[in-house]
């Protein structure tokens, strides 16, 4: 897996609440967010050398333990931040391809059993930190799989006039778009991120398709 040097700090900063640049766009209440400035960027974000890891392809084991076993190799490349592609269970409904997209997520709170367990995530983070490495996760805030646990509450999704949940666009037929006009959607996703930060000790997130997620969120 190739390294990414450097990744735009704005991608990392979305999750750690950091950017020295104005926040662009307007909120639904008409407030001009382009006049606001977010918190300053931590040094570890500003100077980050980010290495993206797809756990399935990164090692012979194809799991989180395989990533942990190679952290010395990653560190020795001069990397400071390990960016894990989504580690959550992949949806089955409307799946594309044999394995499906890791960005079609069934449960943001769970770990893909093909990759290991919650304890494997904690071990990876712990061992990364012991080597002076930060760990960020992909947060797929824009959409979920069609068989997501969130589908028990259809109101969390964008729906048409007939109440049918919609994909982000016609080509992304394997995922359903979350509705950030609903405060419950926002609360759910904040809870997801807070749990990964607090319980697992990850250092931040890279926001997938950030341009499709409301800036004020």
DSSP 8-state code for residue 82 = E
Q: How many residues belong to the chain? A: 217
Count of CB atoms situated within 10 Å of the CB of 154 = 13
Strand 175-177 and strand 143-145: the pairing is antiparallel
| pTM greater than the 0.85 cutoff | no
Report long-range pairs for 154-160 (Cβ below 8 Å, ≥24 apart). Answer: 155/179, 155/182, 155/184, 156/182, 156/184, 156/185, 156/188, 157/185
Report residue 40's pLDDT band, with 50, 70 and 90 as the boundaries. Answer: confident
Residue with tokens 């799991």, as numbered in its chain: 63
Domain spans in the chain, listed from the N-terminal domain onward: 9-93+103-141+183-212
Task: Provide CB contacts within 8 A for 131, sequence distance 6+.
Answer: 71, 72, 75
| Residue pair 136/202 in contact by the 8 Å Cβ criterion | yes
Report residue 39's pLDDT band, with 50, 70 and 90 as the boundaries. Answer: confident
pLDDT confidence of residue 29? 55
Task: Provide CB contacts within 8 A for 34, sequence distance 6+.
Answer: 22, 23, 24, 25, 26
**What's the pLDDT tens digit per position in 151-175?**
999 999 999 999 999 999 999 999 9
| Residue pair 121/174 in contact by the 8 Å Cβ criterion | no
Task: Provide CB contacts within 8 A for 89, sequence distance 6+.
Answer: 105, 106, 107, 110, 111, 112, 113
CATH fold, domain 9-93+103-141+183-212, is TIM Barrel (3.20.20)
Distance CA 191, CA 105 (A): 16
The per-residue pLDDT of the chain, averaged, comes to: 88
| Nearest residue to 58 via CA among 115, 137, 122 | 115
**What's the pLDDT tens digit per position in 73-123?**
999 999 999 999 999 999 999 999 999 999 999 999 999 999 999 999 999
């Amino acid at each position: 897996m190739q390294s990414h040097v450097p990744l735009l700090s704005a991608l990392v900063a979305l999750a750690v609440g950091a950017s020295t640049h104005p926040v662009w766009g307007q909120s639904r209440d008409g407030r001009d967010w382009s006049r606001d400035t977010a918190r300053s960027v931590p040094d570890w974000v500003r100077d980050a050398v980010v290495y993206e890891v797809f756990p399935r392809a990164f090692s012979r084991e194809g799991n989180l333990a395989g990533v942990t076993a190679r952290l010395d190799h990653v560190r020795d490349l001069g990397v400071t931040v390990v960016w894990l592609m989504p580690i959550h269970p992949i949806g089955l409904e409307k799946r594309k391809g044999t394995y499906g997209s890791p960005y079609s997520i069934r449960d943001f709170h769970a770990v893909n059993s093909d990759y290991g367990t919650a304890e494997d995530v904690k071990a990876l983070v712990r061992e990364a930190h012991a080597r002076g490495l930060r760990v960020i996760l992909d947060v797929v805030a824009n959409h979920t799989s069609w068989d997501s646990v969130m589908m028990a509450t259809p109101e969390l999704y964008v729906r048409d006039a007939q109440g049918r949940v919609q994909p982000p666009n016609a080509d992304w037929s394997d995922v359903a778009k979350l509705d950030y006009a609903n405060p419950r959607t926002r609360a759910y996703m904040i809870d997801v991120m807070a749990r990964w930060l607090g319980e697992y000790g990850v250092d931040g997130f890279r926001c997938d398709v950030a341009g499709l997620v409301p800036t004020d969120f």
